[in-house]
Structures are given as structure tokens and as C-alpha cells.
Homo-oligomer: A and B are copies of this chain.
Amino acid sequence: MKLRIRSELTYRFEAPTDAIYLIQAARWPGQTILEERLEGPTGVELVAHTTPDYGSRTLRACLSGDVCLTYEAVIDNGTLKRLPPTAHQHSWTELPGETLTYLWPSRYCPSDGFERFVGNQWSEAGGAQVLAILDWIKANIAYTHGVSTPQTTAADTFLDRAGVCRDFTHLGMAMCRASGIPARAVSAYALDLDPPDFHAVFEVYLSGGWWLVDPTGLAPVEGLVRIASGRDAVDIAFLSTNGPCQMLKQSVSVERV
């Protein structure tokens, strides 16, 4: 599917502050960047870096004052397939070495705590297990703004039964990892997300490949444009800074071309 994505972020930095943006479409085999344009503050050098393993593209700069960054691109996101229940779960010995890290607990996904729950709840494996986890989340967690904070973990959300896309993703990943399935967080532009915003989803490694899933069910997987990947929200924040900043304006849009 061809999609035109656009984001505009205007933030105020009272003092010179180091910032890292993660807003560009990933250089990822599955998607093609047909055209793109980045417009930043004049006179500021943006240091670009692409992680070799999953094509996340960081932009870094030391910023001060009111700073507007605009990114616009046309992306062919290929043919993202929905995870089938028959997708095969690999044993630890079969998994590619680079996927092992996504089996372990991380800052917001303390998956080690979920093992007994997952074992009690389901006796599936592979795609069927992931789909059962997504069904459970849909049935048990309310999509609610204002109940979670940047410190909220999957364990917190499991108890509190409410959250936003970030929390749904952390909970889904924690349950998948506790089931022995590598899971990693993905930030994305998402078609049909209402209101439009950066979206957080995750992907699981099954049948020899990564499969994107959206635990919120708010956006079709076929309409996702991948930005960044990582262990959890820590790695895929669209903006990280080493000092305070104030959001003045932020807009995201995604449309079919």
C-alpha cells in the first residue's frame, strides 16, 4: 500500500538541550521510501544514524528556543500480512541468534513475572498463542487515556486493566515473551488511527519471520509504516531529551496515495 505520512513537531527548549528524534520511516527491507523530505531548524546540524539491525533512524541535535521539525514521505509499505494462527513457534535452539534478546524481560515488560499466568491460561503455541493473547487483551483491557504514566509497566497494566497503545503493546509483549516467543516494540505511522498520532504496536518472531500485530485493534496492520524497533518504549520514543522541553504543537497525518 502506498501511504503519504507527515509529522510536524514544535517544541520549546528553554536552555540548550540534547534531543533525539525517531520520526522517519525505517529503512527496512519490507518497506520502500519512495520520496521523503525533512525540514528542520535552520543553522542546526542534525546528526543522522541508522541502526544496522532494524533500520531505525535517529536524528540528534543540540536545540534551544522554539524548534519545528517536519517530516514528510511517501512509503510503499509492501504487503504486510496478518499473523495466521498456524504460524510456527521456534524452539530456543532454532531461533536466529539476533532474536534471542527479544525473549528477555525489559524495562517496561517484566515478562519473567508472567510465566505462571501464561502457562495457566493457555496451552497454545505460535500464532494461535499470540492471537489468544490479543483476544485476552481486547476482552480485559480498556483503552483509556490518563490512567498510565511514562513509568507504567506491563505488570501495572495487567493489574490496572486500562491504558493506551504503549501499555497494550507492553502487556502483549510481556505475555508473548513469557510464552517463549520473541517480541519487540515498533513505533509506526498508522492509517485510520483516530485521532492521528504516533502509534505503538509490536511484532513477534514466528515461522522464520517477524509479524506485526496491533494489540489495540485500532489500526489495520496493513496500514502501518514502520519507524523504529526495540525492546520496549525506551527504544522507540519519537523524542528523547536530556532536559525539560515543552510541546507547542504536534501533528501527525497518514493517508492513502
Binding site for B on A (CB under 8 A): 18-20, 45, 47, 49-51, 58, 60-62, 91-93, 97-98, 100-101, 104-107, 110, 112-114, 116-117, 120, 140, 142, 149, 151, 155-156, 158-162, 180, 230-231, 234-235, 240, 242
Q: How far is the CB of A150 from chain B (nearest CB, A)?
A: 8
How far apart are the CA atoms of A61 and B91 in the complex, in Å? 10
Q: Is the Cβ of B162 less than 8 Å from the Cβ of A106?
A: no
Looking at chain A's contact residues, the main secondary structure is mixed
Taking a contact as CB atoms closer than 8 A, the residue among B61, B113, B162 that contacts A160 in the complex is B113
Q: Which residues of B contact A51 (CB under 8 A)?
A: 97-98
Q: Which residues of B contact A235 (CB under 8 A)?
A: 101, 104
Q: Which residues of B contact A61 (CB under 8 A)?
A: 93
Q: Is the Cβ of A242 less than 8 Å from the Cβ of B159?
A: no
Q: Which residues of B contact A162 (CB under 8 A)?
A: 116
Q: Is the Cβ of A161 less than 8 Å from the Cβ of B97?
A: no
